[in-house]
Structure 1
Amino acid sequence: MSSNLYGIPGDFDVVVIGGGPAGATLSALLSERGRRVLVLDRERFPRYHIGESLIPGFMRPMEELKLLDRLEQRGFEKKHGGTLVWGAQKIPWGFSFIEGGPYSYSYHVRRADLDSLILDRSRELGTHVIEEATVKEAIEEDGRIVGVRYTIRGSEEVQEARAALVVDASGQARVLGRKLTNVNWHEDMRNVAVWTYFDNAARLPGDEYTNILIEGLEGGWFWGIPIDKGTMSVGYVTASAAAAAADDSLEDLFRTQLARSSQLKELLRDARQSSGFRSARDWSYTCDRFYGPGWALVGDAAAFVDPLFSTGVALATLAGSALSKIVDKVLEHPEIEEAALERYATAYRAFFDEIRTFVGKFYDRTKYKEFYWEQAQTIVDPNRERDPREDFVTLVSGLSGRHPLFNISVDDLIAERAATAPVGA
């Protein structure tokens, strides 16, 4: 096996672009199965990232990674449910995760700490990780991606890493996906978000103490995430077109809309802003392809949905887990690659579309909570075997256990190829 001047091998089973939750989960589970994996990330961890409130679906891959105890030990704020000011009635209503599946809570986190925790676990399991590495281009031979070229911060020398498969887990940077696919923006969710942090924020009362607060207003909605020690992440989301047409800056729009809120402004009455503003635009999209010869997309590099229900990290890690099982089989049976990756792409896209469809319906704030419950039931429980409220919690928890994404099998593909292989092959 060749090696570069940094002592890192040049040949791998899998190269993963990006060490965030999707890439770290994928690489860790592949390394645990004995695969040779390289992760390249352009940042040095810990690094800032938005997406601090998690749903219980995230706990499934963390259990696979044997990280549940460490999450507990890190003292992240537990999240037991959500409180909403949403719909035709402007009164708060809520839900508890205990109603929706095997995990009764998740966490609110500082993403810098969480992402480092998962990536460090990948290192423990044998993954080669290079931080501050910028992928310059994919290496293509005969129409197949066979590796990448990259540089390390402080050096102009271009390094090569070759692999049987390259996975783009680079998030919204879409390092490979930007060149190999087209992105389809969800026009009904072309939004802009502006957010900041407050210290000395109050909490919701009683059993809602650790709930995320989602408060809808006429022109958009706020999130309020209690991270720790009185610190709250507060963001405002509105349509990009509305923000562009407004006379105010995003920061002034945030302040104006906050003053119009009911629940949130009370929680922030004695709080003080403790950081500057950040913003992001055009969050909801899907790439038209999730794989090709020698490559695949996972996490935000493949698709991202509006942050209304905090699904980003759960979707990324669940997809990373599912893809790790597929890739492991593909490495052993290269002849099934296209068919196996198609199954992954189909299941991942369907899971993503369920959430996107529901979020789109939820954005209609003229309805009552029972309407939203029934819409969730239509998606995850069309036979109406459970109570609609339970189906709503199951959906927003990311725990629809019957979904094909959680149960992809390619054993039949392996058996089929074996049965048609020439005798003695």
Structure 2
Amino acid sequence: MNVAKPYYDVVTVGGGPAGSATAALLAMRGHRVLLLEREKFPRYHIGESLITGALPTLEELGLLSRMDAMGFTRKYGGTLLWGKNQGTWGFRFAESALYDYAYQVHRADFDALLLERARELGVSVVEEATVKEPVLDGERVVGVDYVDSDGRDVTVNCRMLLDASGQHRLIGRHFDLVEWYDDLRNIAMWSYFQGCNLYSGTRAGDIVSENRPSGWFWFIPLADGTSSVGYVTPIDEYKSSGLSPKSLFLRELESTQEIRSLTESARRVSDFRVTRDWSYTCDRFHGPGWALVGDAAAFVDPLLSTGVTLALRGARALADAVHESVADPGAEQEALDHYESNYRKFLESILEFVRFFYDRTKHKEEYWEKAQSTIDPQRLRPSDMDFATLLSGLTGINEIFPDRRPI
């Protein structure tokens, strides 16, 4: 006897911020949604520093009050020791954004919050699901094969398959879509410290970025008294050093100014972690029956903390496009083209600015002016405000994903 395969309007692969938010927003729009996640939450993830561009999606999902109740560190801006020797400088979100602060988060807790919200809104969530490959009917994706936590092979059919699998890049690998940015082939090494010195007042939650001749450090204070401290450098520089990630990190830390002052009385409380080769984009963000969102679509360096913002803002835009596509299959191409076009415009502006910002020989005013030329070429606002606007994720001034039409 033939057994009918389960059918969903949408199947989302990946339960991180992009996948959980997209699935939740589609469920809010009345769709039957399945989310497949390969791990059991909560689980560790890097990417702890949010910017205010992520907050409109969290607000739509009804999560801002929960974020405050969970006690995440409030991040009002950032402090930089960057460029020519001018001392520390920085930016405040209140200068440019709809929100005065974002958050520094433990991603295990933050991601679990988003996944649980998707469940509350009616998404069917399957954790510890190993997705094998998309199911095709000709050129159109019509479902997905996966193995559940009991080792059973399962096939589900769907109208749209959304890849939010992060750097696993399910569809990107399947269709060979991934293109790397050779000039941003970096390696990051990081650990966690307790007993760090912190700034006072609203600067206590600042992310701190300090440049080194061959890389840069981040410092992220978290709510439990630990701080995430990491060093990023080109892979070629790491290889030529002949050092282990731990030894290179400690050598470079010793030569910092601001980061060393913040960590001088601290003790390291975790092993070192390492990741590499993460700056890339896929040459298509959608095709017949499928679309990409978050890191599954692209990732442009951690320097500006844009990863989670792109995931969450992309989720809102993709949910609108998919909602329209499911309701009117004839609109699929146009709706998803609009989504991809706006996604790429923002990625290109961030990529251009990241490359400029990596030139650490400039004065802060030159970085401000570059931000202004990127998002405010008519010079309608002061250049330092444009810099803050760009680093906020463009909240309050520009929309990353303007609506195509009322949904």
**How big is the alpha-carbon RMSD for the aligned residues of Structure 1 and Structure 2?**
1.5
String of CA shifts for 1:164-216, please: whole Å, max 9, x gaps. 00000000000111112421111221110000000111102444211111010
Which of the numbers 86, 103, 106 marks the counterpart of 2:99?
103
The aligned residue for residue 378 of structure 1 is: 373
Distance 1:3 1:380, change over 3 A: farther
How far apart are the structure 2 equivalents of 1:207 and 1:403? 25
- In structure 1, which of residues 202, 206, 215 is the aligned counterpart of residue 197 of structure 2? 202
- Is contact 1:181-1:289 (8 Å) kept? no
CA offset digits 1:308-340 (Å, max 9, x no partner) = 111110110100111001100111100111121
Structure 1 residue 59 and structure 2 residue 55: aligned?
yes
Which residue pairs with 1:316 in the alignment? 311
2:165 to 170, 173, 189: 170
Partner residue in 2 for 1:71 = 67
Matched, 1:268 2:292: no
Deviation by residue 1:330-354 (Cα, 9 ceiling, x = unmatched) = 1110011112111111111111111
SS of match in other structure, 1:66: coil
In structure 1, C-alpha distance between the alignment counterparts of 2:223 and 2:32, rounded to whole Å: 38
Q: Is the 8 A contact 2:6 2:156 kept in 1?
A: yes
| AA matched with 1:136 | K
Return the offset for 1:51: 0.3
Q: Please give the residue correspondences for 1:226-265 in structure 2 after superposition, counting only pairs within 5 Å.
A: 226-265=221-260
Q: TM-score, normalised by structure 2?
A: 0.97
Aligned partners of 2:11 and 2:160 also within 8 Å:
yes
- The question of 1:307 aligning with 2:341 is answered no
Does the alignment pair 1:152 with 2:148?
A: yes
Q: Which residue of 2 aligns with 1:420?
A: none
Residue 138 of structure 2 aligns with an amino acid whose one-letter code is D
Q: Distance in 1 between matches of 2:133 and 2:49?
A: 33
Contact 1:344–1:405 (8 Å) recurs in 2:
no
Give the TM-score taking structure 1 as reference length. Answer: 0.93
Which secondary structure state, in structure 2, belongs to the residue aligned with residue 358 of structure 1? helix
Equivalent residue number for residue 23 of structure 1:
19
Matched, 1:133 2:117: no
User: 1:347·1:404 contact (CA, 8 Å) conserved in 2?
Assistant: no
User: What's the CA shift for 1:408?
Assistant: 2.5
Give % identity: 49
CA contact (8 A) 1:322 1:405 kept: no
Would the aligned equivalents of 1:3 and 1:10 in 2 still touch at CA under 8 Å?
no
Counterpart of 1:113 in structure 2 is 109
What is the aligned partner in structure 2 of residue 418 from structure 1? none
Name the CA distance, whole Å, in 1 between partners of 2:391 and 2:244: 32
Query: Which structure 2 segments of 5+ residues have no match?
Result: none
Cα deviation, residue 401, structure 1 = 5.1
Alignment of 1:398-409 (within 5 A): 398-400=393-395, 403=398, 405-409=400-404
Count residues with an aligned counterpart.
406
Q: Distance in 1 between matches of 2:175 and 2:77?
A: 39
**Structure 1 equivalent of residue 288 of structure 2:** 293
Matched, 1:41 2:59: no
1:193 alignment partner, one of 170, 176, 188 = 188
Q: Which amino acid aligns with 1:53?
A: S
Unaligned runs of 5+ in 1: 415-425
CA shift for structure 1 position 159: 0.2
Answer yes or no: is the 8 Å Cα contact 2:81–2:210 preserved in 1: yes
For 2:147, give the aligned amino acid: T
